[in-house]
Amino acid sequence: MKYDAGEYDVAVIGAGHAGCEAALASSRLGMKTLLFSISLECIANMPCNPHIGGTSKGHLVREIDALGGEMGKNIDKTMIQIRMLNTSKGPAVHSLRAQADRKKYQMEMKHTLEKQDNLFLKQAEIVDITIEDGKVETIETNLGAIYHVKTIIVATGTYLKGKIFIGENSYESGPDGVSAAKPLSDCLKSLGIELQRFKTGTPARINRRSIDFSKMEIQEGENDIVPFSFEDKTREFEQIPCWLTYTNEKTHEIIRANLHRSPLYAGLIEGTGPRYCPSIEDKVVRFADKERHQIFVEPVGIDTEEMYIQGMSSSLPEDVQIAMYRTLPGLENCEFTRPAYAIEYDAIEPSQLKSSLELKNISGLFFAGQINGTSGYEEAACQGLIAGINAVQKIKGKDPLILDRSDAYIGVLIDDIVTKSTAEPYRMMTSRAEYRLLLRQDNADLRLTEIGHNIGLISDERYERFLVKKKQIDEEIERLRTTNIKPTDKNNKFLVEHGTSTITAGTKIADLLKRTELTYEMLREIDINRPELDKQVIEEVEVMIKYEGYIEMQKKQVEGFKKLEKRLLPEDIDYSKIKGIRLEARQKLNKFKPYSVGQASRISGVSPADISVLLIYLEQKKKAKKG
């Protein structure tokens, strides 16, 4: 029996990392928000590796925090190890990575949702969405509850028609044995939404007591690392080590001998898997020349003996998995608590979305997370945040928040999937960002806090603290640029001791800091009047001075990029009627409906010549309108 369950502003379907951020954003912005999960025990679940951050993903978490999201704060509360990756490289690719206590991360996020004003958390499966006059109208649960809503955010992760594969065995399920969502997938198809089939996987979990760590290399955490959230202070906590071991020829022999039992190689799996996170059988086949592969053994939490075996995801039968795992040094007697599995699921073809993450042909229907063809907790969370913000902007009749490629990694990710689409699960990487020296994780607050404050997710108090930090950075850079160091014997002795050339005339501290041999901390010895500054301020000052030339170069590149981004395109433009644009380009432009000339130029199949014709067409239209 169906019944009327009331009226709400925003409904979020799915309470994974995308759904949590979407629901928190909309409710914090004053909207009456529903958040549905098939199981409340799976809120913010980490069915794969229980960690947050990593190369490029750490950037996303910092950006989420700078805009007023929750992921950074949640991992700061629940981490059991933290490290800074890529420190031997330039600052553009430095990335925080933290191992989470899986259950505590879930519990903390669930409690945050439960405490949030305007947010109503419900355990239910959504089976239908109704549309009237091209706009969302209602959603219906499996128990017949019908909610009238103004906007909907679909954030179903890998649950849509989820199917688990372990060797010859397969069954319908979401991650961790939770029910899959079937009716909603059929509902989306009935609305004319194009779906595609993707797959991902996860390794086995092993009882810690069955592992011989003496045969492995220890991977310790690091102390005095700044947190993910710009609001949080560095805290002391007991860090739990991770461990490193390797596959070997015996491992590879077992895999090769059993490929016929892999559903992937037997043709049972239809979905496309992630290129940059392959299964162990994929690695052995694709990289046949490699003698071994790195395998990380990582804790799932403090109050559990389960260990996560990073790098050994597989869909081989359980008996084969046990045999191949036991060939690894330290895992000779390992006992499984959960086998590895592959999961296949429905995702939408993301070119159907606007850059706001709203569906192009249904008003008020947004999508976020893995349903958009992405992979990873961080990629999901940032989309959820943007979808949540834009659902509110839609209700308020305001322009959507669209971050471009020069604003944030979030902008790169969303632009990539809606402009280029994706034929495989999309993973964020630093190489995807053209302006990565400007989009560092350390300056995410300088780039985005003002936007978060204008939207309403950054409090006045936090914004005031941000302005103080920004002022300190500007003042210290100015001081370093205007303060001279004299060529005294003491100062030149200091320079020689640090392997750099002496000076014969007064030299600005900033010019000394640009030398590769010197750091801000080293210069303390001869920079006697420096103020006491926070570690984050110092880091920003040092990067901005040392890389000043490269930063200015990228800023000039951004200026050219912005010119095309500002040339907006009407939504109702019919590209098939523009003479001079090639047939393929007309078809692609009509399909993608880019919002700007810049976005049009990034669509595969649209050439620079097509863009030139488009610019001429726009100028002619402009002149005709004036005439």
Specify the range with the lowest mean pLDDT, choosing from 57-66, 445-454, 526-535: 526-535
Q: What is the mean pLDDT of residues 560-564?
A: 87
Q: Is the pLDDT of residue 626 over 80?
A: no
Extract the tokens encoding 27: 């409710």
Which of 359, 240, 235, 351 minimizes the C-alpha distance to 297? 240
pLDDT digits (tens, 9 = 90+) for 425-441: 999 999 999 999 999 99
Extract the tokens encoding 353: 């979305």
Q: What is the mean pLDDT of residues 513-527?
A: 94
* CA-CA-CA-CA torsion sign (552, 555, 560, 561): positive
Which residues, at least 6 apart from 313, have a Cβ–Cβ distance to it below 8 Å?
48, 201, 202, 203, 277, 278, 279, 280, 340, 342
Tell me how crowded residue 234 is: count the other CB atoms within 10 A of its CB. Answer: 12
Distances (CA, A) of 516 to 327, 488, 500, 520, 542: 45, 21, 9, 11, 11
Tell me how crowded residue 14 is: count the other CB atoms within 10 A of its CB. Answer: 32
- How far the first Cα of the chain sits from its last, in Å, is 62
pLDDT digits (tens, 9 = 90+) for 134-170: 999 999 999 999 999 999 999 999 999 999 999 999 9
In angstroms, rounded to a whole number, what is the distance separating the alpha carbons of residues 113 and 86?
34
Query: For the CA atoms of 71, 76, 78, 79, what is the dihedral angle to 10 degrees?
Result: 110
**Could you tell me whether strands 484-485 and 507-508 are parallel, antiparallel, or unpaired per DSSP bridges?**
antiparallel
Report the percentage of the chain scoring pLDDT > 70.
100
- Strands (E) across 103-238 are located at 119-123, 126-132, 135-141, 145-154, 163-166, 169-172, 195-202, 205-207, 217-219
With tokens 């002149």, the residue in question is: 623
Q: Which CATH code of 3.30.1450.10, 2.40.30.260, 2.60.40.1190, 3.30.70.20 fits the domain covering 205-343?
A: 2.40.30.260
**Could you tell me whether strands 294-299 and 95-100 are parallel, antiparallel, or unpaired per DSSP bridges?**
unpaired
Which residues, at least 6 apart from 612, have a Cβ–Cβ distance to it below 8 Å?
none
Extract the tokens encoding 567: 């040339």
Q: Is the pLDDT of residue 565 over 70?
A: yes
Cβ-contact 581, 597 below 8 angstroms: no
Report the percentage of the chain scoring pLDDT > 90.
82
In angstroms, rounded to a whole number, what is the distance separating the alpha carbons of residues 12 and 152?
6
What pLDDT sits at residue 627? 67
Angle in degrees, 0-180, between the axes of helices 409-420 and 57-67, rounded to the nearest 10: 110
Q: Is the pLDDT of residue 256 over 80?
A: yes
pLDDT digits (tens, 9 = 90+) for 6-20: 999 999 999 999 999
Extract the tokens encoding 552: 């200015």
Which of 395, 355, 407 minimizes the C-alpha distance to 25? 395
The DSSP output letter for 413 is: H
Exposure class string for 444-480: b at 16+ Cβ within 10 A, else e: bbbbbbbbbbebebbeeebeeebeebbebbeebbebb
Which residues, at least 6 apart from 509, have a Cβ–Cβ distance to it below 8 Å?
479, 480, 481, 483, 484, 485, 523, 527
CATH 1.10.10.1800 for domain 472-552: yes
Extract the tokens encoding 218: 């220890």
Q: Is the pLDDT of residue 377 over 90?
A: yes
In angstroms, rounded to a whole number, what is the distance separating the alpha carbons of residues 446 and 605?
36
**Strand order across the 163-166 sheet:** 169-172, 163-166, 341-348, 195-202
According to DSSP H, which parts of 68-137 are helical?
71-78, 102-115
In angstroms, rounded to a whole number, what is the distance separating the alpha carbons of residues 565 and 404?
8
Q: What is the mean pLDDT of residues 269-288?
A: 85
Cβ-contact 193, 359 below 8 angstroms: yes
What pLDDT sits at residue 458? 98
Which of 222, 39, 36, 241 minimizes the C-alpha distance to 120? 36
* CATH fold label, 3-200+345-454: FAD/NAD(P)-binding domain (3.50.50)
Confidence of residue 354 (pLDDT cuts 50, 70, 90): very high
Q: What pTM was computed for the model?
A: 0.94
- What's at 299, amino acid-wise? P
Q: What is the mean pLDDT of residues 210-219?
A: 97
Sketch the domain layout of the chain as residue ranges.
Answer: 3-200+345-454, 205-343, 472-552, 567-626
- The string of DSSP letters for 17-62 reads HHHHHHHHHHHHTT--EEEEES-GGGTT--SS--EEE-TTHHHHHH
Cβ-contact 390, 363 below 8 angstroms: no
In angstroms, rounded to a whole number, what is the distance separating the alpha carbons of residues 519 and 212?
42
Specify the range with the lowest mean pLDDT, choosing from 259-273, 308-322, 583-597: 259-273
* CA-CA-CA-CA torsion sign (559, 560, 563, 564): negative
Cβ-contact 56, 95 below 8 angstroms: yes
Exposure class string for 255-266: b at 16+ Cβ within 10 A, else e: beebeebbbbbe
What string of H, E and C letters represents the secondary structure of 260-291?
HHCCCCCCCCCCECCCCCCCHHHHHHHCCCCC
What pLDDT sits at residue 395? 98
Chain Cα centroid distance, residue 382: 6
Question: Of 105 and 614, which is predicted with more confidence?
Answer: 105
Q: Is the pLDDT of residue 266 over 80?
A: no
Q: Which CATH code of 1.20.140.10, 1.10.3470.10, 1.20.1250.20, 1.10.150.570 fits the domain covering 567-626?
A: 1.10.150.570
